[in-house]
Amino acid sequence: MMAAVTSEGANELVGRRAAEHEVAALFRAEYRSLVRLARLLLGDPGAAEEVVQDAFVKLQVGWSRLRDPEHAPAWLRSAVLNGARSRLRHVQVRRRHLSAAAGAPTPDTGGADAAAVEGDERRRMMAALRTLPPRQREALVLKFYLDLSEAETAATMGVSAGSVKTHVHRGLAALEAALQEEER
């Protein structure tokens, strides 16, 4: 009885060491690019780092349940995307409550006016991106920043490849319209 418990404990320790080792390697390889991804989705550097750290904590404590460690990078991307969604939801719910209380319309998230004055391509593009619905923005960032395929983007977002196609198509059309509107 005691022996069984001891060996179980030893196995668990060995498993933990292995998990820490694997996750450390993934952390070195992926941390920076995941923080960049989260920053593009959230626009808030501090929150981006927290969301990515959350994902690594979950990965490490759940390592033994991961069916295929090769999928860990894809799992991390999904976890970061979900973490970012959850953050944005909090921000939006809070903003909606505040604006409802003040009797004011929901403020524009874009800051497009300031961007136009600066005339900076990157800022204008990012401002236009921030005015898109969340799913369209996510699809565009995954496809054009991470260069994921439609299937990979779909798996990360937890939607079908068909809806990725739709989100990308509509997102690009809306971006183009927003930029043309501004350039006129």
Question: Rounded CA gap, 41 and 130, in Å?
Answer: 9
Is there binding between residue 40 and other proteins (CB under 8 A)? yes
Nearest approach in angstroms of CB 37 to other proteins is 8
Among 17, 21, 32, 169, binds other proteins (CB under 8 A): 32
Determine if 144 is a binding residue for other proteins (CB under 8 A): yes
By CB under 8 A, tell whether 150 contacts other proteins. Answer: no
**29 near other proteins, rule: CB under 8 A:** no
Please give the size of the binding site for other proteins, defined by CB under 8 A: 56
What does the DSSP assignment read for the chain? -HHHHHHHHHHHHHHHHHHHHHHHHHHHHHHHHHHHHHHHHHS-HHHHHHHHHHHHHHHHHTGGG-S-GGGHHHHHHHHHHHHHHHHHHHHHHHHHHHHHHHTPPPPPSS-HHHHHHHT-HHHHHHHHHHTS-HHHHHHHHHHHTS---HHHHHHHHTS-HHHHHHHHHHHHHHHHHHHHHHH-
Instruction: Compute how many other C-beta atoms are within 10 angstroms of the C-beta atom of residue 32.
Output: 11
**31: contact with other proteins by CB under 8 A:** yes
Site residues (CB under 8 A) for other proteins, limited to 70-109: 75, 78-79, 82-83, 85-86, 89-90, 92-94, 96-98, 100-101, 103
Does 166 bind other proteins (CB under 8 A)? Our answer is no
Q: Give the binding site for other proteins (CB under 8 A).
A: 16, 20, 24, 27-28, 31-32, 35-37, 39-40, 45, 49, 52-53, 55-58, 60-62, 65, 75, 78-79, 82-83, 85-86, 89-90, 92-94, 96-98, 100-101, 103, 121-122, 125-126, 129, 140-141, 144-145, 158, 172, 175-176, 179
